[in-house]
Amino acid sequence: MQYQSLNFIRSLSRDELSELYFAVILKSLALSLVGVFIPIYMYKELEFSIDKIIYFFLIWSVLFAAFTPFVAKLSSRFGLKHMIVASVPFDILFLGLLVLLKNNDINYVYPAIVYALSGTLFWTGFNIEFAKFSNKERRGRELGSLYSLLILSGIIGPFVGGLILTYLGFTVLFYIFSVLLFVSAIPLLMTPDNHEKTKFSFKRVFHKTYFKDTLIFAGLGTRIMTVTLFWPLFIYTILKGYIGIGVLITASSLIIALFSFYIGKLADTKKRKNLLRIGALVHSLVWAVRWVASSFYQIFIVELFSGLSFVLADIPFSSMFYDKMNKRNKAEYVIFREIGFSLGKIIVLLSVLFTETLIAGFFVASIGSLAYLAFKTR
């Protein structure tokens, strides 16, 4: 999610949405410094085997699903903004544990637990807040603007992060990351918090109202995990350095950010289902063929088409998702989404673990991306 002008933020009539934008944009900038490099850091600096990295993310995925219902319950009592703010120290603690892992005998299960907790706190609060305060008639534009802002806010992140990692190391990156996260939380403390009643039972996962959507989210979860873990590792095996990866992500992100702003406008029209279908089919195809990329320029083309097709599918999908979320208990629907996402992440992790090839993840993500086509707002 990314680009948008300052005039747009000033024109927002609801302070809550402005605060939410600011928080998620700065968080995106902070995460862009390190996010794409985390699996590479584990592989290169910590000397984790691929299997060990997969086990780490398996623990993270299972805990993400397990924590979400409890975080949703906490949000109904303490407030949604407090959940987002509470994620900040856990983000910092997670990265700090990664730094300490290099020279200390710390079990990698601990950072996996902290990473899962930080994610559930942030995304549970963010998704419910955005559903409550985004405008249904302009939701596509607001999402397109948010996608563009997030891309642009983090557009220099991978490049700068690569430079810092190469010349100054992970510890310096940790301090910069921490400061940005603390600043991102400040606006959320300036206005009253919001509460959302939560009703949830694991039995309802199999209810016809939610079961199909849970499977759809599982399909999309395979893409999330593959782009988070296996694609960065694949790039690293070819480019062999942090700076090259940072340049590649930065260059492709600028084009994708501008495209996101345009797609957001179209997502408020009757064309959004057509956009979703085209984006899903192209994105699925790109995942199926990206394993043939073997040079910087080939990876750049793949990354570019992957990003363009992703926003083409995901902005209309997210607009439809928030429409549907507002027709249900918001907290409960977020829980089912995260359970589905986590299930998909586990599926693709196990597929790579058992086949012992990163490319297996690409094909699973290709199939999973087609789940966009099955989503309906009814």
Residues in the chain: 378
Residue 266 within any structural domain of the chain: yes
Q: Establish if 199 belongs to a structural domain.
A: no
How much is the CA Rg of the chain, to the nearest whole Å?
A: 19
CATH number for the domain harbouring residue 272: 1.20.1250.20
With respect to residue 195, please indicate whether it lies within any of the assigned structural domains.
Answer: no
Distance CA 287, CA 289 (A): 6
Query: Using the 8-state DSSP alphabet, how is residue 228 labeled?
Result: I
Helix (H, G, I), strand (E, B) or coil at 2: strand
Residue 261 lies in a domain: yes
| Coil, helix or strand at residue 320 | helix
pLDDT tens track of the chain, all 378 residues?
333 333 333 333 345 667 777 777 777 777 777 665 678 788 887 888 999 999 999 999 999 999 988 888 888 788 888 888 888 899 889 888 888 887 777 888 999 999 999 989 988 888 888 877 777 777 777 787 777 777 776 666 666 777 777 777 777 777 887 888 888 787 777 766 766 676 666 666 566 667 888 889 999 999 999 988 898 888 888 877 666 666 666 667 777 877 777 787 777 776 788 889 999 999 999 999 988 888 878 888 888 888 889 988 998 898 888 888 888 778 788 888 889 999 999 999 999 999 989 999 999 999 999 999 988 876
Where are the alpha helices (H) located in the chain, listed in sequence order?
A: 6-11, 15-34, 38-44, 50-78, 80-101, 109-133, 139-153, 157-167, 170-185, 208-225, 231-239, 242-266, 272-289, 296-325, 330-355, 358-369
Q: Are 274 and 316 in contact (CB under 8 A)?
A: no
197 part of a folded domain = no
Could you list the residue range(s) of the whole structural domain that residue 350 is in? 6-189+205-374
Q: How many domains does the chain have?
A: 1
Contacts (Cβ under 8 Å, ≥6 apart) of 24: 1, 126, 146, 150, 184
- CA separation for the pair 275, 267 (Å, rounded): 8
Q: Would 33 be classed as within a structural domain?
A: yes
Residue type, 165: L
Q: Is residue 300 a contact partner of residue 252, using CB atoms and an 8 Å limit?
A: yes
Q: Work out the burial of residue 269: count CB atoms within 10 Å of its CB; fewer than 13 is exposed, 13-18 middle, 19 or more buried.
A: exposed
- Determine, yes or no, domain membership for 1: no
Domain assignment present for 60 = yes
What's the CA gap between 172 and 155, in Å, rounded? 19
What token pair was written down for 378? Answer: 């009814």
Q: Please state, as a whole number, how many other Cβ atoms lie within 10 Å of the Cβ of residue 209.
A: 10
